[in-house]
Chain A
Amino acid sequence: MRKVAWAAALLLAACYPGGAETVEDLDSVTTQHDPAASFSTLRTYALPDTIQEVSAPGGQPLPMDHSYDARILSRVASNLDGIGLRRVDPSAEAPDVNVLVTFAATRYAEYTSYSFYDLWPGWSGFSDYDGTWGVYYPWVTGTTYVTVIDAGSLRIDMLDQRTANPSAKQLTAIWAASVDGVLAGDKESIVQRIEKGIDQAFAQSSYL
Chain B
Amino acid sequence: MRSTTRFLLALALLGSSAALAQSHVRLSYEFAVPRGDTKDYIDRFSSRGGHLDVSLELSYAFHLELSAGLNSFNAVKEGVLTTTDGQDVSGKQFRYLNVIPLMAGFAFHIPLGHGSRVWAGVNGGAAYFERVIDLGLNSYSRSDWQWGVQPHVGIAFGLGDGGTALFFDGRWQYFWERHGIPSQQYFSFGVGLLFGGGPSKRK
Task: Please list the residues of chain A having a beta carbon within 8 angstroms of any beta carbon in chain B.
Answer: 12, 15-17, 19-20, 24-32, 35, 149, 151, 180-182, 200, 204-205
Contacts and interface: CB of A to CB of B under 8 A. Distances in A.
B136 interface: yes
B87 interface: yes
B88 A28 contact: no
B3 interface: no
A199 B30 CA distance: 43
B70 interface: no
The 5 closest A-B pairs by CB, nearest first: A28-B136, A28-B91, A17-B76, A12-B47, A30-B89
B1 interface: no
Contacts of A30: 87-90
Contacts, number: 55
Given A12-B47, A17-B75, A17-B94, A27 B80 contact: no
B87 A28 contact: no
Interface in B63-109: 74-76, 80, 86-92, 94
A31 B74 contact: no
A200 B90 contact: yes
24 contacts: A12-B48, A15-B47, A16-B47, A16-B74, A17-B74, A17-B94, A20-B92, A24-B92, A25-B92, A26-B91, A26-B136, A27-B136, A28-B90, A28-B91, A28-B135, A28-B136, A28-B137, A29-B89, A29-B91, A30-B88, A31-B88, A32-B87, A151-B137, A181-B137
A151 B137 CA distance: 9
Nearest to B72: A16
Interface size class for chain B? 10 to 19
A35 B91 CA distance: 23
Interface of B: 47-48, 74-76, 80, 86-92, 94, 134-138
Interface of A is mostly: mixed
A204 B88 contact: yes
A161 to B, nearest CB: 23
- Scoring A16, A32, A200 by chain B CB atoms within 10 A of each residue's CB, the highest score goes to A16
Contacts of A17: 74-76, 94
Residue with the highest number of chain A CB atoms closer than 10 Å, among B76, B91, B94, B134 = B91
Contacts of B89: 28-30
Among A28, A31, A200, the most chain B Cβ lie within 10 Å of the Cβ of: A28
A18 B87 CA distance: 25
B37 to A, nearest CB: 21
A25 B48 CA distance: 24
A29 B93 CA distance: 12
A200 B80 CA distance: 10
Contacts of A31: 87-88
B161 to A, nearest CB: 24
A15 B46 CA distance: 10
A178 B47 CA distance: 36
Nearest to B94: A19
B125 to A, nearest CB: 28
A20 B94 contact: yes
Contacts of B88: 30-32, 204-205
A19 B134 contact: yes
Among A15, A26, A151, A182, which residue has the most Cβ atoms of chain B within 10 A?
A26
Contacts of B90: 28-30, 200, 204
Contact of B80 (A35, A149, A204): A204
A16 B96 CA distance: 11
Nearest to A153: B137
